[in-house]
Amino acid sequence: MGLVESGKLPKPLAKLLNISRKYSIWAYQWGLACCAIEMGAAFASPRYDVMRLGVIPFPASPRQADLVVIAGTVTDKLAPAVVRLYEQMPDPKYVISMGSCANCGGPYWDSYSVTKGVDQLIPVDVYVPGCPPRPEALLEGIILLQERIAHEDMAERWKGEPIVVG
Amino acid sequence: MRTWPSVGRVSQLSSADTETPEAAAPQIDEAREAVLAEVTARLGEGVVGSHIRPGDDLWIRVDRANWVAAAEAAKAMGYRFFDFLSAIDWLPSPFGRDMDSQEDRIVSGAPAKEPEAMVQGYAGGETRFQLLARVYSITAGMGITFKCDLPDDDLTAGTWSNVYAGANWHEREAREMFGFSFDGHPNMINLYLPADFVGHPLRKDFPLLARRVRPWPGIVDVEPMPGVADEEGEGE
Amino acid sequence: MTAVSDPQSVAALAAEAVDNRVNLDFETEGMTLNMGPQHPATHGTLRIIARLDGEQVISAEPMCGYMHRGYEKLTEVRTYPQINALINRIDWLGSFANEVPFILAAEKLMDVEAPPRAQWIRTILFEMSRIANISLFLGDFGLQLGGMTAGFYAFRDREWVLNQIESATGGRFHPNFDRIGGLKDDLPKGWIDSSHTAMDKLLAFCDELEDLLVGNEIFQARTRGIGVIPAETALSYGLSGANLRASGVDWDLRRDNCPPGLVYDKADWKVWTHPDGDCFARTWVRLQETREAAKIVKQLLDTIPSGPVMAKVPRIIKVPEGEAYVATENPLGEMGYYVVSKGDLVPFRVKIRSASFNNISIVPWVARGAYVPDLISILGSLYFILGDIDR
Ligand code: SF4
């Protein structure tokens, strides 16, 4: 993809690429805490059914994933593992930070062992607030991410501001 | 069979009237008295304090030399279920009782406050750190809470893990949270905290740095509502 | 009381064999298997370091702390109502059940008691959170043993309970609904009828799952006789809840030592035990427990008294000096709070006795001599929630 990196991709081709990327997100689910169960409900339950959005939630390893949902509390002890996980994912990769804990520390804002926000460790694309966010909120986060992917200039990938679900 | 008190029974706190006549009559809890007597018989001088709340709970304070013997005695008496083992740091927090008042607004660099006097809870105590453990008897339907004083200069005690296998992890937790050590424990390594963690979080003088830097945003919650005369709401 | 069965003696022999092998000179070179911190089978961030000899586990040591959030310290700097909101998140699947023992401990110290209607609703919600918790276990355990379908069913039917909890409390997950002296609100209109419907659905789910999972040959092959825990060992490790009852100990805090403030004695229900103490027994006991919980809910729904849901308590809660320990039978086992108060807005010390912490501390003992795939069965059937281990 040398063309992509140099930003010389013809527009229609870029659009096509983006559309196909948008509807084939392989999401690695990293359930950390309570939010993981809501993520599970969003990803695995028939009621919310994330697959209709074109997200495939069962990659066996981070090496096959495009998206990781950090759902839950990241502690200082776990932080190196989060970074390692992120580094294992192939580019282009996206991160959704789900729940107040992953966003900013949440209810444990004054704890001695909790990392106050996963964005201190890895770049985050979408923040989904809530404690826990409803599965619908996570789905909205995914849709926003898809919108972002659709309009993405791949060379400029990391220059945009993160999205916050309202 | 319980009997329900009248609906909406008021608490003692809610008004200045005295209305607790029931508490005046001392009740005797024979079953727990008997348990206490048996523990005392087994440990002799080892029992240095006790407290019984009738119909509810029993506290026994033993001295350090008898800490493990207390576990053995309890197990021999049928208290086979291990509940938990932990500790209490009775030092009043040198940082003020966080969020109890505007005192919370001290920022880093401010001098620590004058500590209040140390007051130990049920069954008494002399030292800052007290071990706390609880065992339960399924047949008797009663629990015993053991306490044990640890002198500041030597925070060690015998291990319970040979008596109650479950104490193993609890002692590891007490070690990292309070800085104790347990003689004879098979595996004294950190359980929760990373190996390079500095300090013992559950000690009262361990500061929560996030809180020192930025006071609790919800501090207004504990202020009285404007216009409501509320004597209790004021922090000291 | 000790469960002596064939599987148990087999497991003891296996453990002995492992010991012997370790002592031999020509010991095969062991292998260290690291599971986690992120591994699907640990549903959360538990890390297990297992030493293997071929397929057999010589030792397995759980490393926890990846989800340690410092509850006990945080409770020292939060007021009682704030703590109530915080401790929801310990056992995140049965959140409402976490609040109850803490509230009861505070009520004991303050000498208040909730009005009957509040006690009834508390018990109902308590049992509903048990269902929400255990139904997910049943599905998830199936999933871990390779039966994906059970997981989908569990997620589907669990929503019925979550709907009820949400419509009563406003929160699917973390209701923060219990208050010292009662409840935040009364029940919404029509809730009782819809709860009956939901419970019927859950009972049907239990039947379905019994056919689908518990009766399944593969499932039985992977759980029967695996991870046997004798009663005496279970007690000394402090195992509680279904893990203890599956070892044949007939003990349930709801029946035997129910703290005032919950009304389990007003319903007719049964404590199930199983003599085997293996993974299958634990699953089976939990399945029965879900059924009983649904039955308790249905009975209490019919007898719910009228009246206020909140006793008269001061607006700003200061708990008088004292110490109290209150434990209840939570979905995972005995959960208790040892609250030390000095008469302030904040407690002086809160020791949280969480069930999973004790339940999982037996893993090094029970995994010895097991085979690698059995490790998954054992971990799954012991059923832990990371927040409940690490707090
Ligand atoms: S944001 Fe709330 S629900 Fe999510 S992990 Fe943190 S405490 Fe749990």
Count of CB pairs separated by less than 8 Å, B with C? 172
Please state, in angstroms and rounded to a whole number, the distance separating the CA atoms of residues A32 and A69: 10
Q: Environment class of residue C178 by beta-carbon count within 10 Å: exposed (0-12), middle (13-18) or buried (19+)?
A: buried
Tokens read off for A46: 């028939």
pLDDT of residue C368: 81
Chain A interface includes B227 (CB < 8 A) = no
- The set of protein residues with a Cβ atom below 6 angstroms from ligand 1 is A 33-35, 72-73, 99-101, 106-107, 131-132; C 89
pLDDT of B37 > 70? The answer is yes
The answer to whether residue C19 sits within a structural domain is no
Q: Which is nearest to C337 in space by CA: C92, C75, C93?
A: C75
Question: Which SS3 state, helix, strand or coil, does residue C375 take?
Answer: helix
Q: Is the pLDDT of residue B2 over 50?
A: no
Stretch C54-64: mean pLDDT: 80
Which of C64, C238, C365 faces B83 most closely, judged by CB atoms?
C238
Residue A98 falls inside a structural domain? yes
CA distance B145 to B86: 11
- Tell me what ipTM this predicted complex has: 0.81
What are A87's two structure tokens?
A: 């580094």
SS3 content of chain C, % helix, strand, coil (to 5): 50, 15, 35
Cβ of C39: how many Cβ atoms within 10 Å?
Answer: 16
C358 is written with which tokens? 């004790």
**pLDDT value for C82:** 82
Q: Which domain holds residue A40?
A: 25-110+118-152
Residue C29: alpha-carbon gap to chain centroid: 38
Query: What pLDDT, in 10s, does the model give residues B175-231?
Result: 888 888 888 877 777 788 877 777 788 887 777 776 666 655 555 455 555 665 544
Using the CB atoms, write b or e for C122-157: b if 16+ within 10 Å: bbbbbbbbbbbbbbbbbbbbbbbbebeebbebbbbb
Strand partners, A70: A30, A97
User: CATH no. for residue B58?
Assistant: 3.30.460.80
Domain CATH for C194: 1.10.645.10
Residue A107 CA: which ligand 1 atom is closest? 7
The whole-angstrom separation of Cα C245 and Cα C29 is 39
Sheet strands (E) in B90-235: 129-137, 142-150, 156-158, 181-183
> Does A56 or B10 have the greater pLDDT score?
A56
**Does residue B66 fall inside a structural domain?**
yes
Residue B100 — very low, low, confident or very high, per pLDDT cuts 50/70/90? Answer: very low
- Whole-angstrom distance, CA of residue B220 vs CA of residue B235: 12
What token pair was written down for C294? Answer: 């649904």
Give mean pLDDT, residues C236-247. Answer: 86
Q: Which of C316, C334, C318 is nearest to C326 (CA)?
A: C334
Pocket test for ligand 1, best of C89, C90, C92 (most atoms within 8 A of CB): C89
> Atom 2 (ligand 1): residue with closest C-alpha?
A131
- Inter-chain touch C386–A85, beta carbons under 8 Å: no
Listed range (A2-6, B106-110, C44-48, C373-377) with the worst mean pLDDT: B106-110
Best mutation target, B193, B203, B216, B219, to test chain A (most A CBs within 10 A): B193
User: For residue C101, with 0-12 CB atoms within 10 Å meaning exposed, 13-18 middle and 19 or more buried, which class applies?
Assistant: buried
CA distance B178 to chain A (A): 14
Residue among C66, C74, C159 whose CB faces A78 most closely: C66
Identify the pLDDT of residue C15: 64
Ligand 1: which residue has its CA nearest to atom 3?
A132
| B216 contacts in chain A (CB < 8 Å) | 110
Q: Is residue B224 part of a domain?
A: no
Query: Residue A128: which CATH number?
Result: 3.40.50.12280
Reply yes or no on whether the pLDDT at B6 is more than 50. no
Beta bridge partners of B58: B52
| Most A-contacting residue of B104, B176, B197 (CB-CB within 10 A), to test interface | B197
Among chain B residues, CA nearest to C319: B13
Tokens of A53: 């959005």
The answer to whether residue C261 scores a pLDDT higher than 70 is: yes
Measuring CA to CA, which residue among C285, C302, C32, C263 is closest to residue C126? C263
Interchain CB contact of C345 with B (< 8 Å): yes
A105's enclosing H/E stretch is: none
Q: Per the domain annotation, does C134 fall within a domain? A: yes
**A111 close to C (CB below 8 A):** yes
Q: What is the pLDDT of residues C94-126, one digit of tens each?
A: 888 888 888 888 888 888 888 888 888 888 888
% of chain C residues with pLDDT over 70: 90
Indicate yes or no: CB of B190 within 8 angstroms of CB of C65: yes
pLDDT tens-place string over residues C312-360: 877 777 788 888 888 888 888 888 888 888 877 788 888 888 888 888 8
pLDDT of residue B156 exceeding 60 = yes
Instruction: Fill in the amino acid letter for C304.
Output: I
Only one residue has tokens 């800052």, namely: B128
- The answer to whether residue A100 is domain-embedded is yes
H/E run at residue C329: strand C322-330
| Model confidence at B21: pLDDT above 50 | no
Instruction: Give the per-residue pLDDT at C66.
Output: 82
Closest CA to B75 of B167, B156, B10, B157: B167
Distance, CA of C244 to CA of C249 (rounded, Å): 6
Confidence label for C38 from pLDDT (cuts 50, 70 and 90): low
**Could you give the CA distance from residue C198 to residue C196 in angstroms, rounded to a whole number?**
5
Beta strand ranges found along chain B (DSSP E): 47-53, 57-62, 81-89, 129-137, 142-150, 156-158, 181-183
Q: Which of A29, A78, A114, A131 to mutate to test the pocket of ligand 1 (most atoms within 8 A of CB)?
A: A131
d(CA C216, CA C240): 27
Query: Which run of H or E residues covers position C211?
Result: none
Q: Quick one: chain B helix, strand, coil %, rounded to 5? A: 25, 20, 55
**Angstrom distance (rounded) from CA C129 to CA C93:** 7
- A53 φ, ψ to 5°? -90, 0
What is the pLDDT, as a whole number, of residue C27? 55
- pLDDT surpassing 80 at residue A25: yes
pLDDT tier at B95, thresholds 50, 70, 90: low
| Residue C309 confidence (pLDDT) | 82
Between C115, C322, C390, which is nearest B8 by CB?
A: C115
**Cβ B106 vs Cβ B98: under 8 Å:** no
Whether residue B17 has pLDDT greater than 50: no
Residue type, B5: P
pLDDT digits (tens, 9 = 90+) for B124-146: 777 788 888 888 888 888 888 88
Compute the distance between CA of residue A37 and CA of residue C359 in angstroms, rounded to an integer. 21
> Which residues from A are below 8 Å from C385, CB to CB?
none
Q: What is the pLDDT of residue A155?
A: 61
User: In angstroms, rounded to a whole number, what is the distance separating the alpha carbons of residues B25 and C69?
Assistant: 44
d(CA B200, CA A112): 10
Task: Give the integer Cα–Cα distance in Å for A142 and A137.
Answer: 9
Average pLDDT of every residue of chain B = 71
pLDDT range class, residue B15, cuts 50, 70, 90: very low
* 3 state DSSP class of C103: helix
Using a pLDDT cut of 90, give the percent of chain B over it: 0
Question: Stretch B65-75: mean pLDDT, rounded?
Answer: 84
Closest ligand 1 atom to A132 CA: 3
Residue C330 included in any domain: yes
Amino acid in position C46: L
Mean pLDDT of all residues in A20-49: 80
Nearest Cα to Cα of residue C123 among C241, C246, C269: C269
Closest approach atom of ligand 1 to CA A33: 5
**What confidence tier does B114 reach under pLDDT thresholds 50, 70, 90?**
low
For residue B7, what pLDDT is reported?
A: 40
Cβ within 8 Å, pair A37-C172: no
Amino acid at A115: T
Point out which residues pair with A31 in neighbouring strands: A71
φ, ψ (nearest 5 deg) of residue C284: -65, -45
Nearest to C131 by CA among C280, C279, C291, C300: C291
CB atoms under 10 Å from CB of B198, counted, come to 6
Tell whether B164 is covered by a domain: yes
- Cα(C99) to centroid(ligand 1), Å: 16
Give the tens place of pLDDT for each residue, C148-163.
Answer: 788 788 888 888 888 8
Q: Is A108 on the interface with B (CB under 8 A)?
A: no
**How far is ligand 1, taken at its centre, from the CA of residue A140, in Å?**
18
**Count of domains in chain C?**
1
CA distance B106 to B96: 9
Using CB atoms, pick whichever of A37, A46, A75 lies closest to residue C66. A75
Report if residue C141 sits inside a domain.
yes
- The answer to whether C100 touches C178, Cβ cutoff 8 Å, is yes
pLDDT at C52 over 60: yes
Give Cα separations from B20 to B10, B15, C170 (angstroms). 10, 12, 37
Nearest to A112 among C37, C44, C73 (CB): C73
| C-alpha dihedral sign at B110, B112, B114, B117 | positive
Closest CA to C212 of C152, C159, C272: C152
Q: Is the pLDDT of residue C39 over 80?
A: no
Amino acid identity for residue C249 in this structure: V
Q: Is residue B120 part of a domain?
A: no
**C309: its two tokens:** 């849901």
Closest residue on chain B to C389 (Cα): B192
Contact criterion met (CB < 8 Å) for A34 and C92? yes
The domain total for chain B is 1
pLDDT tier at B103, thresholds 50, 70, 90 = very low
| B180 assigned to some structural domain | yes
pLDDT tens digits, one per residue of A113-148 = 888 888 888 888 888 888 888 888 888 888 888 888
pLDDT for residue B59 is more than 80? yes
Question: Regarding beta strands C56-63 and A55-56, do their DSSP bridges make them parallel or antiparallel, or are they unpaired?
Answer: unpaired
Of B11, B191, B233, the CB nearest to C112: B11
Q: Which domain holds residue B76?
A: 28-90+127-205
Expressed in angstroms, the distance from the first to the final Cα of chain C is: 32
Closest chain A CA to residue B195: A77
Q: Which chain C residues are closer than 8 Å to A83 by Cβ?
A: none
Among C43, C92, C93, C388, the mutation site with the greatest number of ligand 1 atoms within 8 A of its Cβ is C92
* The pLDDT of residue A19 is above 80: yes
- Mean pLDDT for all residues in chain C: 81
For residue B225, what pLDDT is reported? 55
Which ranges in chain A belong to alpha helices (H)? 2-6, 11-22, 34-44, 79-88, 99-104, 135-150
**Residue A32 near residue A74 (C-beta atoms within 8 A):** yes
Interacting residues of C325 by C-beta distance below 8 A, sequence separation 6+: B57, B134, B143, B145, C105, C336, C337, C338, C339, C353
Amino acid of residue C227: G
Number of C-beta neighbours around residue C354 at 10 A: 27
